[in-house]
């Protein structure tokens, strides 16, 4: 992952690109430095390479929210693999056959996730974290089947 720039550095960069733009202060969003989210279109979650890479990503980045897309396997088929990771809650959309699959996992000690809508192509959830404004996360897997995607 790239290192996070400070808000001041972002302001300077925007001013250099758009010198005629007069703004003070720039929109003030909560710092995302302390909320870590990992989103991975993993193209399959059963093999040992996936498991090894996921463990390394989690160890390195310590995300509070993990979204895995196109898992191609059911969550339950991985048995206890996710029990030993740092996530205490999940919303799972299992694939249809070997297509799709969306898994949203989070650490309840740091964030609260409330699902508002779920289908086989998406999960919409509201994210709550202390000292942050509430926001909506939408994880979308658009089916490669045009008729199914049309429903989206």
User: For every one of its 152 residues, what pLDDT tens digit does the chain have, with 9 covering 90 and above?
Assistant: 444 556 677 667 666 666 655 555 545 555 555 789 999 999 889 899 999 999 999 999 999 999 999 999 999 888 788 878 889 999 999 988 888 899 999 999 999 999 999 998 999 999 999 888 899 999 998 888 888 778 77
Q: Which residues pair with 127 in a beta bridge?
A: 113, 135
- Residue 35 Cα distances to 30, 58, 138, angstroms: 10, 14, 16
Phi, psi of 67 (to 5 degrees): -120, 120
Q: How far is Cα 34 from Cα 42, in angstroms, rounded to an integer?
A: 24
Reduced to 3 states (helix: H, G, I; strand: E, B; else coil), residue 131 is: coil
pTM confidence score: 0.75
Q: What was the pLDDT predicted at 35? A: 83
pLDDT of res. 77:
87
- As a CATH number, domain 7-151 is 3.60.10.10
């Amino acid at each position: 992952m790239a290192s996070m720039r400070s808000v001041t550095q972002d302001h300077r960069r925007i001013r250099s690109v758009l010198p005629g733009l007069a703004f003070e202060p720039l929109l003030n969003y909560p710092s995302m430095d302390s909320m870590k989210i990992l989103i991975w279109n993993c193209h399959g979650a059963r093999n040992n390479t996936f498991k090894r890479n996921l463990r390394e990503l989690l160890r390195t980045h310590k995300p509070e929210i993990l979204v895995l897309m196109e898992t191609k396997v059911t969550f339950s088929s991985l048995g206890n693999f996710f029990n030993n990771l740092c996530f205490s809650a999940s919303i799972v959309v299992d694939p249809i056959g070997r297509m799709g699959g969306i898994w949203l996992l989070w650490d309840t000690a740091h964030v609260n996730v409330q699902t508002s809508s779920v289908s086989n192509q998406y999960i919409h959830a509201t994210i709550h974290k202390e000292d942050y404004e509430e926001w909506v996360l939408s994880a979308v897997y658009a089916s490669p089947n045009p008729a199914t995607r049309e429903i989206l």
